[in-house]
A and B are shown apart, each in its own frame.
Chain A
């Protein structure tokens, strides 16, 4: 298979999978879940098969069609997108295992719709990852929003639908109201929206406008949850946990920060932005988001809401790293996408497993749960440590790179933010760990054991990945360094 057809296949396969899942769902749940797993496996294989080519410096691309002169649908694989696609497709397999356990364990209704929409969302994610120009990115970005709405509102009761409306409202409003004008502005000024390493805007836009355009992009990409457009993320926590896990730890939010990183590197160009003083505000917004979201997280009592605010803070790590505008920090941004994905998906899986096994959703209920669910809580602990950035976890690696970039840029604000937020992270995760392992369980609680096997298996895998990434990150760093080297 040529790389070009592989790209197209990676986008079409989940679509076909969605159709097959929908049909299979009418026959039997077992067949449906088999189709889901098969699709996930094939997709991962397809995406990962592109990896050697990328490592060798190849940039396969394919243009599908042109709407108007200069405005077409095109795909091009480059290291950032490759990383994102590989991550999402790989974790889909794990997540599917988990979903099966979770959905069956909770006896949810409309399971077919759930799996169909999940596959659709993955197709959109692949499109975002491989997009070769702004228009294609926007197209799949919107598809991702729309295809995840049924997932978020899965439960279907009034409160859920209200939250799902917030989700849809914020994401659509920002994307149509800000992202789209930014794209059209870019096309008007630069005459193209193609992603070119080093940017297409240099020399075409004056100073205050650069800052404004950047603002339109950053706040228009609401999925990155930079404050004040973060409201949708806690609202989306009404979704079933697998949705929160994959979509709100991996695909959706990562599509946001991925898009911002990509736009900074491939539309503006790092050097161009570094020379434009009016773009400096982005760093401070990211810093503000990190600190504020961490403080809010401190006060949460619901596990999933706490994780949501932690996600907001961690996303702004990526944005901040990208905004430092130094090669080392850009690598850090890309690695943090991966590291946070492994850690956060583990945490969500664990939270979901606790819910399935014991119906507990609040932190104070977790006293002594470590003894009842040792596997789950062990994984939870690893995830939490990774969020804090303790070695030997994935979080340490990315923090290292971001810090190195911050020092390179002599950016003390960023350095202090990283230190402060590490303290805050520790402050809200460590009490949970203490409670789970060392506190005495309150009497009168219902008896329960571990979560279903599929769920435990999935969260063990992701916890192991979190650890493994600390040791085996060479190839990822090698891949992402290509972006930086291309700039030199």
Chain B
């Protein structure tokens, strides 16, 4: 029972595990692109968390239509928030990639230790 209860929060487990995978990649990978991939995974985990919490049991998309009364809606606010956060995440990723391109132009490598050696 206890176990089942814990498993019932599976989306939170997914969130936590994805978060850790992302963080691990950021920290352990020496390749800058792989670091960025890790960062993206890390951020996606948070998006999952927000989406999870807006879901209301039995709710549908929160669109008010004429004639539909008494409908249960999912909470729209986190969705809006996470839309913004995704935009932020995408732009961060784009900027990160741009910097990696520049680093490659100037240093000729995208491996962290090689860059450190170069200076």
> Do any CB atoms of chain A lie under 8 A from CB atoms of chain B in the complex?
no
Residues on A lying within 8 angstroms of B by beta carbon are: none
Residues on B lying within 8 angstroms of A by beta carbon are: none
